[in-house]
């Protein structure tokens, strides 16, 4: 039972468009509070053509409720779920940086090769976030059974300070939060999904580990070995393509790293890593077992040099189209 209730007003001023996806748009915004309080945040807004679809809105709300309690340094933090003028939005942590897809494209454009240790470091931080999410329980201590189901470069953020954060739990599954028709439809990006996802099967946390392995191989090789001309061909590759000996594809990949990749990408679930914790241990042991290894600062220095300390161009709102979102919230303090 709450001791008391605080009623307060939040006002968000949209500054610029950061990212536009198929079902939502992310903006940079200023959150305004009392006595000239201002905080920069990211605002995720439902696209207008989905705003009247109950199932989509239910999942959007479910995502916000789920992620609100996922408080971890390697997961983008959610601050607030709101509704203004019939429009639903989520206020989130603003990351000053790029997603891994933009990062990889910049490497390609500048003909740079990502150092092996930094590739492994990035994925080890993803594994840390997944380990936390997979182990999350409800207030009664019951496992939520979270599976992200969309671990891919677009959903991994790297801040210019070097922090790595997993984002977008929009198609995650978790008990009691999101509607799920797994087994009837395929959820996820075809190039990065697990074989069980691609084959309409029920998934658990090990599915995310396969996807994580695909991203690691992509970072090391500079391309995704499963990507086909179409989504359907990519899905077939995920299920049937022979997993290569990665030592033959990149001389930097030694026996131990090849073993990590092979186990991450094992189609037989009994041969894949059983948990994100175990994958995390293997990755960290690989880069730190001899002592000093990469850190957030190392990655931050690399990405700032790569991008010239400049935020990549983002689509800005047309002049005069700055928007205000106003919302009254009741915040219960225990």
Catalytic residue among 69, 138, 150, 199: 150
Report strand pairing: 324-333 vs 164-166.
Answer: unpaired
Yes or no: say if 161 and 300 are a contact pair by the CB < 8 Å rule.
Answer: yes
**Known catalytic residue: 270?**
no
Rounded distance between C-alpha atoms, residue 23 and residue 48, angstroms:
9
Q: Which two tokens stand for residue 274?
A: 């059983």
Yes or no: say if 26 and 68 are a contact pair by the CB < 8 Å rule.
Answer: no
Sequence-separated (6 or more) residues with CB below 8 Å from residue 126 = 74, 151, 156, 164, 166, 212, 215
Four-residue CA torsion sign, 287, 300, 149, 313: negative
Residue found by looking up tokens 């948990």 in the block:
275
Beta partners for residue 173, in sequence order:
147
- No. of helices (H) and no. of strands (E), the chain: 9, 9
Yes or no: say if 42 and 61 are a contact pair by the CB < 8 Å rule.
Answer: no
Nearest to 212 by CA among 267, 265, 286, 135: 265
Rounded distance between C-alpha atoms, residue 18 and residue 67, angstroms:
20
For the chain, how long is the longest CA-to-CA vector?
A: 64
- Active site residues per annotation: 150
């Amino acid at each position: 039972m709450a001791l008391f209730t605080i009623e307060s007003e939040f006002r968000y001023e949209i500054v610029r468009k950061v990212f536009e996806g198929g079902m939502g748009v992310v903006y940079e915004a200023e959150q305004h509070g009392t006595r000239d309080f201002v905080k920069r945040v990211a605002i995720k807004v439902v696209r207008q053509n989905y705003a009247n679809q109950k199932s989509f809105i239910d999942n959007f709300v479910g995502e916000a409720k789920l992620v609100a309690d996922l408080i971890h340094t390697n997961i983008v933090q959610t601050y607030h779920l709101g509704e203004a003028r019939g429009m639903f939005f989520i206020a989130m942590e603003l990351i000053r940086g790029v997603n891994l897809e933009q990062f990889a494209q910049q490497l390609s454009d500048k003909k740079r090769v990502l150092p092996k240790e930094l590739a492994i470091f990035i994925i080890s931080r993803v594994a840390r976030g997944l380990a936390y999410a997979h182990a999350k329980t409800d207030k009664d201590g019951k496992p939520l059974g979270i599976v992200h189901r969309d671990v891919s470069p677009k959903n991994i953020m790297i801040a210019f300070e070097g922090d790595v954060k997993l984002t977008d739990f929009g198609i995650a599954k978790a008990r009691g939060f999101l509607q799920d028709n797994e087994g009837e439809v395929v959820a996820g990006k075809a190039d990065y999904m697990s074989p069980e996802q691609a084959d309409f099967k029920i998934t658990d946390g090990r599915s995310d580990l396969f996807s994580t392995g695909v991203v690691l191989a992509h970072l090391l090789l500079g391309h995704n070995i499963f990507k086909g001309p179409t989504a359907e061909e990519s899905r077939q590759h995920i299920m049937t393509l022979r997993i290569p000996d990665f030592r033959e594809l990149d001389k930097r990949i030694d026996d131990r790293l090849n073993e990590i990749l092979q186990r991450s990408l094992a189609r037989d679930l009994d041969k894949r890593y059983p948990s994100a914790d175990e994958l995390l241990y293997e990755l960290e042991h690989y880069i730190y077992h001899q002592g000093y290894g990469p850190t957030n600062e190392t990655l931050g220095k690399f990405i700032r040099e790569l991008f010239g300390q400049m935020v990549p161009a983002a689509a800005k709102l047309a002049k005069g189209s700055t928007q205000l979102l106003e919302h009254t919230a009741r915040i219960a303090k225990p």
